[in-house]
C-alpha cells in the first residue's frame, strides 16, 4: 500500500501546484513510483490524457514530473467555468453535463467524490507515493462542509499534509495561524509542517516566526522556497495577464471565457504580449483570438463591445490575425452551435473561409501535423486539440498525420489573407515555427531577425525541482511518510 502526501495551501495561488510538481519529480528521481492526484480541479487550462480524455493542465504537468503518461485517474473531476455561475463537469475525462454552482454543491458533488476516492484508493494500491494537491484554502468557513478537495481527501487517504503559504504576498504567518486555528484537532494532526514559498531576502529573519509556529503547533517549518523565475505554466485562477509591447505589438484578446492561455507563453518570452479587452486598444501588428470555453458567447461579447469591428479594421490596415481553437471558429464565416450556447447559426467574423458545426462529442487528442501555409510550408509541428467544433475550410492550415500515435490524413484549420486559424493548441511551442513566423513579421517592419530561445517543460521541471530539493527538508518528509 502506497503513502499519501498532500499539499494544501493557505489560499489560492499559494504554490500548491508547483510544490506538488516539484515533489513528484524529486521522489521520482529518488527511485520511487510516484503519481499525482487532485480529486477536483476548477480550471479552463486543460490537456488531453493518454486515454483520450481531458484533465487539468496542472495534473498533466505533474504527471510529466513523475515521468508518467497523463491519466484521467490523476484528476477525476474537472470543472470548466462557463459563466453565469455554471460549469461544465468533466468526470474521468468526459463531459457529463453543465450545472449551476448550487446544483453541483447539493447534488452531484457527493456522488462524484465517492467515485474519486475509489480512484485514489486504486492509485495507492499500485504506487509508492501519491502526491495529492488540494484546492484553494481548506478552511473556507462557508464551503468547508461541502469541500471535497482538501481535508476530506486527506482523512480518507490518511495523508500527511504540508501547508504552503505565499510569503511574497505578505501576511503568511497570520494565514498559517488562521488556517491552523480553523482546522479541527483531527485535521491538525494530519499536518506535518509548513513551507514558505516565493521568498525574497534573508531567510534568517523569519526565525522568530518559525519558532512561534513550532512552539504553538508542534509542527516543523520544512523550508523556504526562494522566489524563482521559471517557464512552467501556472494555474489560471489568479493569473495576472501581462501587458508588454515588444518590438512587435502582439495583442491577445482576453475573452471572458479564455482557455488554454498557456499557448502564448513562447510569444511572451520571445517578444512580449499585450492582453486587451477594449475596442480602442486594438492596433497591434499581430492580433490573436485565443481558445474559449464558450465560443459563441465570447464572439457575441466581442461584437457587442466593438472588438470585432476593431479587429476587422486593424486587419484592413495590415495587422496579421490568428485564431486558436475557439478563436479559429470565430474567424470563420459561420458557426452552428446547438450544443454549447444553443444559439443555432451565428455569423462569424469572416476573415477565414471556414464553417464550424458543434458536435456532442469532444475531441481530446495529441496531434502531429504538417503545415500547409505557404511561408512555413512543410514544417512538422506538434500540439493538442480539445474541441467540440468540427470545421471545414477551402484552404486548410495543416494536415494532421498523427492522432495519439495513430497515422491519419486530416486537414485542419484555415488560411486567409494575412490570417490563419488552427485547432493546434501549443502551436507556438514549436520554436522553429514561432521563430520563422515572428521573423516574417519583423522583416515587414524592417526589424532585425531574432533567434527564439528554445526551452522545454522537462528542463524547467528539473530545474525548479532542484530549487525545491535544496530548500526543504526532504529527508524529514520521507521519514514522516515512513
How open is the CA angle 31-46-345, to the nearest 5 degrees?
160
DSSP 211: H
Cα 285 to Cα 294: distance, rounded to the nearest angstrom: 26
| H helix intervals, 35-171 | 57-65, 101-103, 109-126, 151-157
The closest of 469, 430, 38, 45 to 228, measured between CA atoms, is: 469
Measuring CA to CA, which residue among 125, 18, 1, 126 is closest to residue 65?
18
> Cell 499559494 appears where?
14
In contact, 432 and 439? CB cutoff 8 Å: no
Please give the Cα distance from 474 to 481 (Å, whole number).
11
- Quote the distance between the C-alpha of residue 438 and its chain's center: 25
Give the whole-angstrom CA distance, residue 474 versus residue 477.
Answer: 5
Looking at the DSSP bridge assignments, the partners of residue 250 are 286
Of the residues 257, 268, 315, 425, only one is catalytic, namely: 425
Phi-psi group of 177: left, alpha or beta (phi > 0 → left; psi -120 to 50 → alpha; rest → beta): alpha
3-class secondary structure, 301:
helix
d(CA 145, CA 334): 45
SS3 content of the chain, % helix, strand, coil (to 5): 35, 30, 30
Active site residue 325: yes
List, in sequence order, every residue forming a beta bridge with 390; answer none if it has no partner: 357
* Catalytic residue chosen out of the listed positions 268, 315, 325, 366: 325
What Rg, from alpha-carbon coordinates, does the chain have? 23
Q: Is 66 a catalytic residue?
A: no
For residue 19, give the C-alpha cell.
510544490
Active site residues per annotation: 325, 425
Amino acid at each position: 500500500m502506497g503513502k499519501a502526501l498532500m499539499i494544501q495551501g493557505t489560499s489560492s495561488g499559494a504554490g500548491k501546484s508547483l510544490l506538488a510538481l516539484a515533489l513528484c519529480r524529486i521522489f521520482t528521481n529518488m527511485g520511487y513510483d510516484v503519481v499525482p492526484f487532485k480529486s477536483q480541479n476548477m480550471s479552463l487550462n486543460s490537456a488531453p490524457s493518454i486515454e483520450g480524455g481531458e484533465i487539468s493542465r496542472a495534473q498533466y504537468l505533474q504527471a510529466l514530473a513523475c515521468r508518467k503518461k497523463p491519466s484521467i485517474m490523476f484528476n477525476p473531476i474537472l470543472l470548466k467555468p462557463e459563466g453565469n455561475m455554471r460549469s461544465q463537469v468533466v468526470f474521468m475525462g468526459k463531459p457529463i453535463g453543465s450545472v449551476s454552482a448550487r446544483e453541483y454543491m447539493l447534488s452531484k458533488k457527493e456522488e462524484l467524490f465517492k467515485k474519486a476516492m475509489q480512484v485514489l484508493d486504486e492509485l495507492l494500491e499500485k504506487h509508492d507515493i501519491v502526491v495529492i494537491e488540494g484546492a484553494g484554502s481548506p478552511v473556507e468557513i462557508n464551503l468547508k462542509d461541502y469541500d471535497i478537495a482538501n481535508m476530506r481527501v486527506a482523512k480518507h487517504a490518511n495523508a500527511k499534509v504540508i501547508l504552503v503559504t505565499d510569503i511574497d504576498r505578505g501576511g503568511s504567518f497570520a494565514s498559517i495561524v488562521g488556517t491552523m486555528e480553523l482546522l479541527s484537532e483531527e485535521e491538525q494532526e494530519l499536518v506535518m509542517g509548513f513551507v514558505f514559498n516565493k521568498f525574497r531576502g534573508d531567510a534568517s529573519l523569519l526565525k522568530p516566526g518559525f519558532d512561534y509556529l513550532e512552539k504553538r503547533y508542534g509542527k516543523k517549518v520544512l523550508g523556504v522556497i526562494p522566489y524563482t523565475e521559471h517557464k512552467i505554466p501556472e494555474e489560471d485562477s489568479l493569473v495576472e495577464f501581462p501587458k508588454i509591447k515588444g518590438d512587435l505589438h502582439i495583442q491577445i484578446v482576453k475573452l471572458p471565457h479564455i482557455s488554454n492561455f498557456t499557448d502564448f507563453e513562447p510569444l511572451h518570452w520571445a517578444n512580449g504580449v499585450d492582453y486587451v479587452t477594449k475596442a480602442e486598444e486594438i492596433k497591434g501588428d499581430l492580433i490573436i483570438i485565443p481558445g474559449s470555453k464558450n465560443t459563441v458567447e465570447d464572439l457575441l461579447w466581442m461584437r457587442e463591445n466593438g472588438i470585432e469591428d476593431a479587429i476587422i479594421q486593424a486587419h484592413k490596415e495590415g495587422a496579421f490575425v490568428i485564431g486558436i481553437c475557439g478563436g479559429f471558429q470565430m474567424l470563420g464565416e459561420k458557426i452552428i452551435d446547438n450544443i454549447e450556447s444553443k444559439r443555432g447559426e451565428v455569423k462569424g467574423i469572416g476573415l477565414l473561409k471556414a464553417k464550424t458545426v458543434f458536435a456532442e462529442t469532444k475531441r481530446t487528442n495529441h496531434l502531429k501535423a504538417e503545415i500547409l501555409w505557404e511561408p512555413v510550408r512543410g514544417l512538422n509541428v506538434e500540439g493538442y486539440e480539445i474541441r467540440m467544433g468540427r470545421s471545414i475550410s477551402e484552404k486548410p492550415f495543416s494536415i494532421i498525420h498523427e492522432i495519439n500515435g495513430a497515422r491519419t490524413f486530416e486537414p485542419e484549420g484555415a488560411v486567409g489573407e494575412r490570417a490563419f486559424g488552427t485547432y493546434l493548441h501549443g502551436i507556438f511551442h514549436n520554436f522553429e515555427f514561432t521563430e520563422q513566423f515572428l521573423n516574417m513579421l519583423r522583416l515587414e517592419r524592417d526589424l532585425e531577425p531574432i533567434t527564439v530561445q528554445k526551452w522545454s517543460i522537462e528542463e524547467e521541471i528539473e530545474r525548479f525541482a532542484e530549487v525545491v530539493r535544496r530548500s526543504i527538508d526532504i529527508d524529514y518528509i520521507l521519514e514522516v511518510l515512513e
